[in-house]
Amino acid sequence: MATPSRPSKAMSFYDIAMLKPSSPNPWKSRLALNFKNVDYSSTMVPLPDVARVRRDLGVDPCRKFADGSDFYTLPILIDPNTDSKIGDSFDIAEYLQSQYPDAGAGELFPPQPLDYVFKPDYPLLVPLSEPKQGEHDEYSRFNMYVDAAFTAHTGLMAYYLPFDPASEAASKAEFVRRAGVKSWDDFEMKGEMRQQQLESLRLMLSDLGKLFLKDTSGPFLLGQQASYADLIVGGWLHMMSATLPEQEWKDVRSWHGGIFGRLYDGLEQFAEVK
Ligand SMILES: N[C@@H](CCC(=O)N[C@@H](CS)C(=O)NCC(=O)O)C(=O)O
């Protein structure tokens, strides 16, 4: 049977409930779903319910905590057209591309070199998912390094997550438990430490930004053609836009000749929250 170019039944997409969507991996998938212009609806899951919802949907965890225990995460995409359940943002993008190759803006994985490496100075609190070997190796590696680069700077963002008041206390308590700190206030990064981290973020973005200078005919890595690599960075830009204090987000947008402000704006066409 020929692969349909557009699904006929709406898919279900699961993201974490916040006053404004803030989670980078679900954002990557939202951008990819809108890029493909497929029909879907979103379910926003309170953070303390993510593990239960994922288990109830029968989707195995794809990430582990540092102690080796399972870490239940979102996004999840359920496609009733093919009876598929996908529980990792990279897998979701690959699934959409293979199942709906011609839909929407077309190819999510055009061949391109993605020469970017980031090594954090210290181990991340929660290890990242391993990159997958497969058809889109270059993108998978890029995804891992970009995740590492931004995760190393989430100390600037965590305190400002716009929690849904209904699950705010439980969500904060869970973060406090995971980080092994005394209270939520310990997440507030200020003073000299904040300035150092902002400078580190600026330098990291300078390095990442070099990839965007190869083709300046548009805001994307390939100039005017958006690809999943742009969406990966875009997921993190959305987290920063939802969490950083206003002036810091303005600074990020304008650093390095405005590369990341232009990218964020260029991706607006795929950023509708449905
Ligand atoms: N490799 C996974 C990682 C997903 C992930 O880490 N999701 C985070 C949000 S960005 C999450 O669900 N966190 C739940 C929690 O912190 O309890 C993917 O790309 O989908």
Query: Which has the closest alpha carbon to 109: 125, 122, 90?
Result: 90
From first to last of the 274 residues of the chain, give the pLDDT tens digit: 444 556 789 999 999 999 999 999 999 999 999 999 999 999 999 999 999 999 999 999 999 998 999 999 999 999 999 999 999 999 999 999 999 999 999 999 999 999 999 988 777 777 777 777 788 999 999 999 999 999 999 999 999 999 999 999 999 999 999 999 999 999 999 999 999 999 999 999 999 999 999 999 999 999 999 999 999 999 999 999 999 999 999 999 999 999 999 999 999 999 999 9
pLDDT score for 133: 77
What is the distance in A from the centroid of ligand 1 to the CA of 74? 5
Task: Please report, for the chain, how many H helices and E strands are present, in that order.
Answer: 8, 6
Ligand 1 geometric centre to CA of 73 (Å): 4
φ/ψ of 138, rounded to 5, equals -60, -45
Two structure tokens written together for 108 = 């999510």
The alpha carbon of 2 and the centre of ligand 1 are apart by a number of angstroms equal to 33
Distance 218 CA to ligand 1 centre (A): 30
- Which helix (H) or strand (E) segment holds residue 257: the answer is helix 246-266
CA torsion angle for 159, 163, 165, 169 (degrees, to 10)? -60
Element (H, E) at 2: none
Domain annotation for the chain: domains and CATH numbers: 11-270 (3.40.30.10)
Give the pLDDT of residue 5. Answer: 58
Cβ 155 vs Cβ 201: under 8 Å: no
How close is the Cα of 138 to the center of ligand 1, in Å? Answer: 21
What order do you get walking across the sheet with 84-86 strand by strand? 40-45, 11-16, 76-79, 84-86
Ligand 1, atom nearest to 29 Cα = 20
Name all residues whose Cβ lies below 6 A of ligand 1: 16, 23-25, 47, 50, 62-63, 73-75, 88-90, 129
Q: Could you say which DSSP state residue 108 is in?
A: S
Name which residue sits closest to atom 12 of ligand 1, judged by CA: 73
pLDDT at residue number 131? 75
